[in-house]
Structure 1
Amino acid sequence: MIQDSVNKEFVVLHTGFAFHHADWNFSNVCSPFTRLHYVKSGNARLIHGDKIYEMKPGYLYLTPAYVTHGYACDGILELYYIHLYEQPGERQRLFDRYRFPVEVKAQPYDMQIIRRLVTINPGREILQYDPRLQDKSSLTSKNISRFQQHPEASEMENSGILRQLLSRFLLEAQPLHQQIDNRIETVLQYIHNHSNETIAIDTLAESCHLSKDHFIRLFKNELHTTPARYIIRKKIESAQLRLLINQEPIATTAYQLGFENISYFNRLFKKETGISPGTYKNQMKNSGRRTKFNP
Structure 2
Amino acid sequence: MYHCRVLTATETTIDHRWRYNLYDPFWRLYRNREHGAVLISAHGERPVAAGECLLLPAWTRFSTRCTGSVRHTYLHFEVIGLPGAWIRDHCAMAVLPTREDWNGLLDALPLHRESQWSLHLKIQAMLCAAVALAIDHVDSRASAVEAASSGEREAISPVVRWIESHLADPLPVEALAQRSGFSRDHFTRIFTRAMGSSPARHVAERRIAAAAVRLLRSDDPIEDIAAAVGFANRYHFSRVFHRILGITPAAYRRQGRA
* TM-score interval for Structure 1 and Structure 2 normalised by the shorter chain: 0.7 to 0.9
1:81 aligns with 2:73: yes
**Contact 1:35 1:81 (C-alpha < 8 Å) held by counterparts:** no
Q: How does 1:19-38 map to 2 (within 5 A)?
A: 20=15, 23=16, 26-31=19-24, 33-38=26-31
C-alpha distance in structure 1 between counterparts of 2:60 and 2:239, whole Å: 21
- For 1:252 and 1:12, the matched residues in 2 are separated by 20
CA 1:162–1:79: 2 relative to 1, 3 Å: farther
Question: 1:71-92 CA deviation, whole Å, 9 max, x = no partner?
Answer: 3456x67454123344xxxx93
Question: What residue identity is the alignment partner of 1:92?
Answer: I
Change (3 A) 1:167 1:271: same
2:52 aligns with one of 47, 53, 59: 59
Partner amino acid, structure 1, of 2:187 = F
What letter corresponds to residue 256 of structure 1 in structure 2? Answer: A
CA distance in 1, matches of 2:196, 2:55: 25
Give the aligned residue type for 1:234.
Answer: R
* Residue segments in structure 1 that go unaligned for 5+ positions in a row: 1-7, 122-146, 291-295
Is contact 2:34–2:70 with CA below 8 Å preserved after alignment? Answer: yes
Residue 13 of structure 1 aligns with which residue? 8
Q: Give the TM-score of the pair, scaled to structure 1.
A: 0.66
Distance 1:94 1:117, change over 3 A: farther
Match of 2:199 in 1: 227
Query: Cα offset for 1:65?
Result: 4.5
Partners of 1:80 and 1:258 in 2: CA distance? 35
Are 2:216 and 1:244 aligned?
Answer: yes
Percent identity (aligned) = 22
Greater relative CO, 1 or 2 (CA 8 Å, sep 6+): 1
Query: Are residues 1:113 and 2:109 paired?
Result: no
- Given that 2:223 and 2:234 are in contact with CA atoms closer than 8 Å, whether structure 1 keeps it comes out as yes
CA distance in 1 between partners of 2:244 and 2:131 (Å): 28
Aligned to 1:183: 155
Q: Is contact 2:35-2:49 (8 Å) kept?
A: yes
In the other structure, the counterpart of 1:277 is 249
Aligned partner of 1:106: which letter? T
Structure 2 counterpart of 1:196: 168
Distance in 2 of aligned mates of 1:245 and 1:239: 10
More displaced stretch, 53-62 vs 232-241: 53-62
Unaligned runs of 5+ in 2: 137-142
Indicate whether 1:92 and 2:116 are aligned.
no
Rounded to whole Å, the distance in 1 between the matches of 2:247 and 2:191 is 29
Whether 1:256 aligns to 2:251 is no
Q: Name 1:163's counterpart in structure 2.
A: 125
- Structure with higher Rg: it is 1
Residues of 1 paired with 2:133 and 2:237: CA distance?
Answer: 38
Q: Which amino acid aligns with 2:28?
A: R
2:18·2:64 contact (CA, 8 Å) conserved in 1? yes
Query: What is the alpha-carbon distance in structure 2 between the residues aligned to residue 33 and residue 219 of structure 1?
Result: 22
SS of structure 1 residue aligned to 2:181: coil
Any idea what SS the aligned residue of 1:225 has?
Answer: coil
Query: Match for 1:103 among 83, 95, 119?
Result: 95
Q: Residue 198 of structure 1 aligns to a residue in which SS?
A: coil
- In structure 1, C-alpha distance between the alignment counterparts of 2:229 and 2:174, rounded to whole Å: 19
Aligned length: 242
The amino acid across from 1:111 in the alignment is N
Spell out, residue by residue over 1:89-125, the C-alpha distance to the aligned partner (whole angstroms, 9 max, x if none).
xx9356858747521122135433322224xx5xxxx
Q: 1:60 Cα deviation (Å)?
A: 0.8
Structure showing the higher helix proportion among its residues: 2
Say if 1:10 and 1:207 are closer, same or farther in 2 by CA, change over 3 A. Answer: closer
CA distance in 2, matches of 1:79, 1:246: 25
